[in-house]
Structure 1
């Protein structure tokens, strides 16, 4: 998977072929396709979705996707899907240490665990939040989710990913999105285990947020999103396809590789993005702006301006606001916030929130800087300050995020998390 080439442009109409003239000219589904391929359309929106929102791709493959056996249940106790009502959803602030890297051989599917969910996958609202930790390749095992598209946020190790549309290589500091229904397999480099986070978005596919008064430039730019070029396998080796469907896992057998797309044309395909390309907007006068200025991707809901899911990052940047409390302000919010840390230190939590860790602050649950951070920030010299070597992110949703029983009972849960605010003092003086 060296020397990979990519096509650029978010949601652009791409065309790519691994063999010359594999793409039909002038029509999508001719009576006969060159190389005796099958034409198959892949749609991740309704056929009649508006042109600007319609996502579909024509694939030209060695065998159609239905060339497979029946599905049978596949056991995996730690993958959950909304609505998940194993336990009540508590309003407490919650935080976890990183999921441990596996000691025995574990591939991506076996290393998946669900931390929280919201909404309802069957009605296509909300999301599932998962973590993965693996040290072995999937081999001839293939995975896909019929419940939602999957946003990967790697924290450790490189993912070498085979997809039906081509190859992707993704490292910490980058993200990858695999559309609902796209089959993929994750390879792990020798002696380089992988760990990271996944947002399984049940709702509207991710789009770029509007820039509003910012204008034509800033935030994430279309041209920086990379799509794979066509690549295929032509072999008759047995493969097991695992499908996450309506919250359950099912497995089916195939007598050949599903990665047999020789050419494709369309705008629904896996893609990746380097978060270092995000052009940060920030205040150059006073006050701490809302975290929405750091939104990379958004899944809109029917309520205008209120996201099904926002993907937000807190990257390296300059802080220059004058006469301002610079860390995130104390707040209660109608949105629910799940945070993860990829590297470095997050400015509002200097202790206990470590790379690979995560926190959950649900709807209307108060939160903000820990006591020590408040003391330092309230008395700091407000010279321009550069935040280096840090990268945190947030999955933010209009729906409350219910932690799973695994998450609540996990030894990684920091049951004393609330104590980081125990040192908050009373400074009030009515005589001032």
Structure 2
């Protein structure tokens, strides 16, 4: 059961439901969930029954996503939408912009405004695919200092995978509350209304800076990857994913609902909070995951497996084994391979990669890639360790070493990324990024092995 009772100002001790996409039953008032029927003639407490579907009705049972919400007012009770300008947020496809084969890198994004909320501090780096055919993804940075107050957000274009880099977040959603710290992630499924705030915003004497990354997945919902030969015990464990318990607020103040639809932003007014779901059950809800619980698989002999072994979540495409979007992490781990170049090897890949750094250092970069930075390598663009990293790793003592001060991640996609005009012209873009490899000189000695 969920928290017993809730109101606009109440912050009860959080209670979570464990398991990846388990069927959850949660109620904030005892008996608020109907017994035996999803949509009875009269719901308890005078509530309205509303189904939220995250998949087609006819999707196979194993991939059918839906939740029943029992709410004070149905979602249709809102004003008419009117367009809203969000000039720094873009959606695929971008017109008259070709994907660029050059490697790109950005420093941490500076604050857009010293008094901005999540939506005002959102900036798109690169996009791919096509939102209207539900393929590909968008990648964004965020930086904000205050909560959304009377404003809420609903993304009809895709699910949001949010990766905090600095500052803890309070996620207030239709299904309940989630607290998400740096080192954790949160996924907001498509179509769910929510609000993102600094977790400790009530401390008015402190300026709370929140920064991070967002993947906006237009394609199939994220799921756990198949383990194959790894077996039953590796990578992300389903039980470590946490969904919220029911929590609601009832108030008659004026609110705004911002919706992203077909790449555009729209705003509607409401005379109540949209977070008025008193009870819910189903398998379509926000969830969070602590990246520290990821069980990294590595080698005990030589070479190292492909980076796909670090996949946390994947959005499959219509081609088996080729992802619409993968979320991959490079967490703390032991380095034990024998007679092996241990950093990530020089590489050209069918997939396009957008990488970020949450904290620490990334083991393929000696400089220029600090927490909050981002890099982009499109398909078949060569990349790998910089010259200083290569020189050090080639001479390193190969005793067992714990790679502890690191947490990097990658958004990887089969589609080519288009960097946005704003990202290409940004002052925080590293225009000379390619210079990090220019020190890789020839060591070829044809007469000496």
Matched residue SS, 1:52:
helix
Matched residue SS, 2:424:
helix
Which residue of structure 2 aligns with residue 25 of structure 1?
35
Can you list the C-alpha shifts for 1:327-370, whole angstroms capped at 9, x where unaligned?
00101111000000000000001200000000000001000000
1:230 to 246, 260, 265: 246
Q: Is the 8 A contact 2:113 2:144 kept in 1?
A: no
Equivalent residue pairs, number: 432
Q: Is the 8 A contact 1:151 1:199 kept in 2?
A: yes
1:10 to 13, 16, 20: 20
Q: Is the 8 A contact 1:108 1:186 kept in 2?
A: yes
Q: Is the 8 A contact 1:102 1:135 kept in 2?
A: no
Q: Are 1:202 and 2:212 counterparts?
A: no
Matched residue SS, 2:278:
strand
1:368 to 384, 388, 391: 384
Q: Is the 8 A contact 1:288 1:329 kept in 2?
A: no
- Distance in 1 of aligned mates of 2:98 and 2:323: 24
Deviation at residue 103 of structure 1 after TM alignment: 4.8
- Distance in 1 of aligned mates of 2:423 and 2:317: 27
Q: Are 1:395 and 2:424 counterparts?
A: no
Moved more, 98-107 or 60-69: 98-107
- Distance in 2 of aligned mates of 1:102 and 1:170: 22
Residues 148-297 of structure 1 correspond to what in structure 2 (within 5 A)?
148-188=158-198, 189-190=200-201, 191-297=207-313
Query: With structure 2 as the length reference, what TM-score do the two structures score?
Result: 0.95
Matched residue SS, 1:419:
helix
Runs of at least 5 residues in structure 1 that lack an aligned partner in the other structure: none
Matched residue SS, 2:61:
coil
- Distance in 2 of aligned mates of 1:421 and 1:179: 40
Can you list the C-alpha shifts for 1:362-411, whole angstroms capped at 9, x where unaligned?
00100000011111111111000101121000000000111000100000
Which residue of structure 2 aligns with residue 70 of structure 1?
80
Which residue of structure 2 aligns with residue 134 of structure 1?
144
Moved over 4 A (4+): none
Can you list the C-alpha shifts for 1:244-296, whole angstroms capped at 9, x where unaligned?
00000000000100000000000000000000000111011000211000000
- Distance in 2 of aligned mates of 1:161 and 1:239: 17
Matched residue SS, 1:32:
coil
Deviation at residue 86 of structure 1 after TM alignment: 4.9
Deviation at residue 226 of structure 1 after TM alignment: 0.3
Change (3 A) 1:93 1:3: same
Residues 396-411 of structure 1 correspond to what in structure 2 (within 5 A)?
396-411=412-427
Which residue of structure 2 aligns with residue 83 of structure 1?
93
Deviation at residue 414 of structure 1 after TM alignment: 0.1
Which residue of structure 1 aligns with residue 343 of structure 2?
327
What RMSD, in angstroms, separates the aligned Cα atoms of the two structures? 0.9
Query: With structure 1 as the length reference, what TM-score do the two structures score?
Result: 0.99
Q: Are 1:425 and 2:444 counterparts?
A: no
